[in-house]
Structure 1
Amino acid sequence: MTTKAVIKGLSLLLLIFFLNGCESSDNKAIESPGASMKSELAQRKTNPYLSYEHSLSVELEKAALATKFKALTDQCSADRENNCTLLETDFSGGSYTYARIKLRVAPTGVEKILVLAGDNGKITNEMTTVEDLSTQIFDTEKRIKLLQTYQNDLLDLQKQAKGNIDSLIKVSQEIASVQSQLEELSGNSQALMQRVNMDIINIRLSSRNEKAFWTPISDALDEFKGNLAEGIAGAITGVAYLIPWLIVLLILFFIGRFIWRRLRRK
């Protein structure tokens, strides 16, 4: 075997190894949401009062971005099993296309959304934040129980104060105040439990920055009129500031000239 044949064989093996490495890294990027979901499920079993918020940034071809945006919104709208709800959507076209989606979904539906978002795209950022709400939930439940006990005591007093109008009015007002506090705390408790039982997902889709040679020139020409108008406005403003100073300088010049002539005559 010649030296050239050996070099060609080694080059081919290195190329195959490099391609396999790229494929495996791509697969890891797509499979990463599933792997992270397993660790999160184990963590949820340890502490059921954790609130999860996921953020994912994906880079796509410009032509595929609108299709991906529609696929994600349709997927959420159709996922009634996991109670998926679209909270915010934003799509912007133009020379730089991007889209944002914010949704709320049950933990069992998170992986499907994340995998769909990262499919056929480049994941540029992936983050999950976790907040422990156990202290807030326990404190709220404790306050609700205390207020309920106090409310029952007030109801007993109301029955005993039927003959005393003043006492009856005061007790009734206190019962109304306690009822209002209970309703507020109940709403807070429901909101906290919703954060525990449902995950928030923030998805940002952006187009790859592949501009043609003439694109910057075209953008500059499109902005020419606006820049020209701003330049003229700036020049007019500058002249307006200079005119008073020119008048002052002219007055000083003539005063100085007058004094200089008087001194020369002497």
Structure 2
Amino acid sequence: MYKEARRHPRWVGALAVLLTLAGCGRHEAAAEAGAGAAGAVVSPEGASLAYEHDLDIRLDAAKIGPRVKQIADACQSARFGDCAVLQVGQQGGEYPSGSIRVRIAPKGVEPIIGLAGQGGEVSSRNTHAEDLAQQVADTALAKARLQKEHERLLAYQDSKDIKLADLLVITQRLSEIEAGVEQANKEAAQQRRRIDTQLVTMQFNAPSGQRSRNEIGMALSESGAILTTSIAYLIRAVAALLPVLVIGSIIGWIGLRLWRRRRARRAG
């Protein structure tokens, strides 16, 4: 083997380079996979954490509307897993912006954020979690108490010695308990939904440079209207002051004539 390697040094060198490149490729792929996994926030097993993500994304003004629609379509089609659109907003004019809020399965958080930031820049991102453990425990305890009371009243209701008045009171209380159990079930379902899915709010704004250009363009387009308004204001001011000036001039002229006559009399 050693002799064959010495006979073909170029072949051995090429094989070494290929093995090195393959090893580097595997390391890079593993690094990318690790980075993607690190970006996802997953609630620890058994925990009752409700995660929320708030993002500010800088995107070209012309792309904001289509991007918001693209995210909404991807969410409604379950492209990244279970997802529901909770809010969509868009504003044009001088400061174009858009926003969308979705509730999505944890595995779809990073993909939908990646879709939102394509061709733009995620300028800020804030992730926080609310611990719902106490709320979940309180809801479960309240439901258990109501169910025990319900069973106890049902047993008492079946008693042969029960009076009619007591039966009416028990029937009313059973209705109240059933309504309470139903409300507890709704609260438990909502808590479970907040734990099993994550809330993602994405706010889109145009880059600061583009907003500055828009401001300059708006100022130039409004300069004619501003000039017209200023001239109209001056005309109104002159029209309002003109009678005062005329009357003041007449009074001043009369006063000057009287003063000159009085002075001439004194001099004579």
Q: Which amino acid aligns with 2:182?
A: E
Match of 2:65 in 1: 66
Q: Name 2:221's counterpart in structure 1.
A: 218
Q: Is the 8 A contact 1:34 1:111 kept in 2?
A: no
Paired amino acid for 2:121: K
Superposition pairs of residues 118-129 of structure 1, within 5 angstroms? 118-129=117-128
Label 1:106 to 1:207 Cα distance change in 2 as closer, same or farther (>3 A). Answer: same
Alignment partner of 1:130: what SS?
Answer: strand
Residue type of the partner of 1:215?
A: M
Conserved? CA contact 1:53–1:129, under 8 Å: yes
Deviation at 1:70, TM superposition (A): 2.2
SS at match of 1:95: coil
* Residues 94-105 of structure 1 mapped to structure 2, 5 A cutoff: 94-105=93-104
Name whichever of 149-158 and 59-68 sits farther off.
59-68
SS at match of 1:45: coil
Structure 2 vs 1, CA of residues 139 and 226 (structure 1 numbering), >3 Å: closer, same or farther?
farther
Q: Equivalent residue of 2:85, what SS?
A: strand
- Structure 2: runs of 5+ lacking an equivalent: 1-31, 238-268
Counterpart for residue 175 of structure 1: 174
Q: Write the distance in 2 (CA, Å) between the matches of 1:109 and 1:91.
A: 23
Distance 1:90-1:214 versus aligned 2 partners, 3 A rule: closer
Structure 1 position 171, deviation (Å): 1.1
Name the CA distance, whole Å, in 2 between partners of 1:227 and 1:135: 64
Matched, 1:109 2:108: yes
Match of 2:151 in 1: 152
Aligned to 1:131: 130
In angstroms, what is the RMSD of aligned CA positions? Answer: 3.0
Q: Deviations over 1:157-192 (max 9, x none)?
A: 000156521111111111111111111111111111
Q: CA deviation at 1:214?
A: 4.0
One-letter amino acid of the structure 2 residue matched with residue 168 of structure 1? L
1:45 — aligned with what? 44
What is the rounded CA distance, in whole Å, between the counterparts of 2:87 and 2:181 in structure 1? 31
- Decide whether the 8 Å contact of 2:67 with 2:116 is kept in 1: yes
The alignment of Structure 1 onto Structure 2 pairs a total of residues equal to 199
What is the CA-CA distance between 1:82 and the residue it aligns to? 2.3
Hey, what's the Cα distance between the residues in 2 that align with 1:193 and 1:224?
61
Q: Structure 1, unaligned stretches of length 5 or more?
A: 1-27, 236-266
Q: Deviations over 1:121-175 (max 9, x none)?
A: 1111101110000111011101111110110000000001565211111111111
Q: What is the TM-score with the length of structure 2 in the denominator?
A: 0.66
* Amino acid in the other structure paired with 1:149: K
Cα distance between partner residues in 1 of 2:226 and 2:85: 36
- 1:217, distance to aligned residue in structure 2 (A): 2.6
Give the distance between the partners of 2:96 and 2:222, measured in 1 at CA.
Answer: 15
Cα distance between partner residues in 1 of 2:99 and 2:176: 43
Q: Distance in 2 between matches of 1:48 and 1:125?
A: 27
Report sequence identity in percent: 24
Q: Could you tell me how far apart the structure 2 residues matched to 1:228 and 1:188 are?
A: 64
Q: Is the 1:162–1:168 contact (alpha carbons within 8 Å) kept by the matching residues of 2?
A: no
SS for the counterpart of 2:44 is helix
Residue type at the aligned position of 1:61: D
Larger radius of gyration: 2
Alignment CA distance shift 1:214-1:206 (3 Å): closer
Q: Is the 8 A contact 1:33 1:114 kept in 2?
A: no
Question: Aligned letter for 1:99?
Answer: G
Cα distance change of structure 1 residues 208 and 47 upon mapping to structure 2, 3 Å threshold = same
Name 1:5's counterpart in structure 2.
none
Report the CA distance between 1:45 and its aligned residue: 2.4
* In 1: Cα distance, 2:179 partner to 2:135 partner: 20
State the distance in 2 between where 1:159 and 1:228 align: 91
**TM-score normalised over the length of structure 1:** 0.66
- Structure 1 distance, partners of 2:229, 2:46, is 57
Q: How does 1:5-16 map to 2 (within 5 A)?
A: none
**AA aligned opposite 1:36:** G
Of 34, 38, 47 in structure 2, the residue corresponding to residue 35 of structure 1 is 38
Q: Counterpart of 1:56?
A: 55
